[in-house]
Amino acid sequence: MEIPNPIPLEDIKAARERLKGKIFQTPLIRFYHEDTSAEIYLKPENLQPIGSFKLRGAGNAMALASAELLADGVYTASAGNMAQGVAWNAKELKIPCQVIVPDHAPQTKLDAIERLGASYIKLPFEEWWQVIIDHKYEGMKGLFIHPVSDPAVIAGNGTIGLEILDELPDVDAVIVPYGGGGLSSGIASAIKALKPDTKIYASEVATASPFSASLIAGEPTTVDYTASFVDGIGSKGVLPEMWPLVSSLLDDSIVVDLEQIVSSIRILMERNQMIAEGAGASSLAAALTGKAGSGKIVCVISGGNIDEVKLKAIMDNKIP
């Protein structure tokens, strides 16, 4: 599937119309911290009904699919959040849904998949990642909704960029958690089309930061992957089909370690009464490094689906 570069603004605007009444238009919330001169705002996608932004991309892709394509249901490959996005929309459409999950997927997300009426198949990480590379899982019926590189999914994600500019037209930088690039490239496509001088940064975790490594190498490259409680971002490599898009639209990647993400989750709980998962808090951790500058910065809090046990450890200032 060829991916337009960038995603056309008209496709993102059409997705916004298509998603009206199906998603929550999350507000920008000011974040105050004594150790930064930046004016930081939070875009809390953890407030969506499924606890993450994935409702947008899945909803747009499935709304565009024909009844014939959806006749045998849908399936996706996801650590949990895209799974919920696809399952939520499948439930609305009254069609079957199955999910291929990696073996480190947290129980909170697995429980949510079943709660939404979907089933899942657990695979070792290497096999799960191959499903994402191949865009299919042999023997599985239904339409495959790719969690990253489906243009309709990316356009749905891009509606976040439109909302950011509606509320903060003079934004200087936006920091977006980087898993496969579908969220960041969608947001960047929207914002760069309307305010091209805005910087768009990826936030990555040091245990798995292939985009940063690829930027340094000047081409898609693989990295050592270490599983951690930050399960919503990080992989072994940049998908080749995404490289032209993310390398041209994103200005840089800010890599943060597990300790910085733990600190940001705690701060969000203590100061904003906001629950963020590791991936979601990575954008704030990146902003607090100062590497995104000192202007008006929006941190996309991509999700809030975290196990209670992990959250308790974090509130005790431990790494789960």
Q: Which residues are catalytic?
A: 54, 302
Is there a contact between 276 and 215 (Cβ–Cβ < 8 Å)? no
CA 179 – CA 239 distance, rounded (Å): 10
Which helix (H) or strand (E) element contains residue 56?
A: helix 54-64
β-sheet bridge partners, residue 102: 123
Is there a contact between 151 and 185 (Cβ–Cβ < 8 Å)? no
CA 219 – CA 91 distance, rounded (Å): 40
Query: Distances from the Cα of 113 to the Cαs of 17, 80, 131, in angstroms?
Result: 27, 7, 19
What per-residue string of b and e applies to 230-267 under the rule 16 or more CB within 10 Å gives b?
A: bbbbbbebbbebbbebbbebbeebbbbebebbbbbbbb
Is there a contact between 172 and 295 (Cβ–Cβ < 8 Å)? yes
Is there a contact between 40 and 272 (Cβ–Cβ < 8 Å)? no
2 C-beta neighbours (distance < 10 Å), count: 6
Closest to 317 measured CA to CA, from 243, 251, 274, 266: 266
CA 39 – CA 46 distance, rounded (Å): 21
Pairing of strands 39-44, 29-31: antiparallel
| Cis bond upstream, residue 6 (ω within 30) | yes
